[in-house]
Amino acid sequence: MPTYDFKCLECGKQFERSQKMSEEPLRVCIYCKGKVERLIGTGGGIIFKGSGFYATDYKKPDKTPKASEKKSEKKKE
Ligand SMILES: [Zn+2]
């Protein structure tokens, strides 16, 4: 059973009410019988499709300057 969020336009209270799909949405506040509006999209079910990967195939520079190899010279005493 889906849960709907309502906000009362009279008293400003928010409440949620689970209703059948076939059932008419609530129109009056459960507190003050005032007029309510249905809040859409706040009751969950929001899916963030994350396209969160970036192309990381940038080429590393091939020219890695070879550091002149240090010859381990034996020190003459
Ligand atoms: Zn109310």
Reported as a single tens digit per residue, the pLDDT across 5-63 is 999 999 999 999 988 888 887 899 999 999 999 887 544 554 455 555 555 556 667 77
The reported pTM is 0.49
DSSP string, 3-58: EEEEEETTT--EEEEE--SSSPPP-B-TTT--BEEEEPS-SS-------------P
pLDDT confidence of residue 20: 86
pLDDT confidence of residue 42: 46
- 13 CA from centroid of ligand 1 (Å): 6
d(CA 7, CA 41): 13
pLDDT confidence of residue 46: 47
- 11 CA from centroid of ligand 1 (Å): 4
More confident residue, 67 or 4: 4
- 21 CA from centroid of ligand 1 (Å): 23
pLDDT confidence of residue 23: 84
Sign for the CA dihedral angle at 18, 20, 28, 3 comes to positive
pLDDT confidence of residue 13: 96
- 77 CA from centroid of ligand 1 (Å): 97
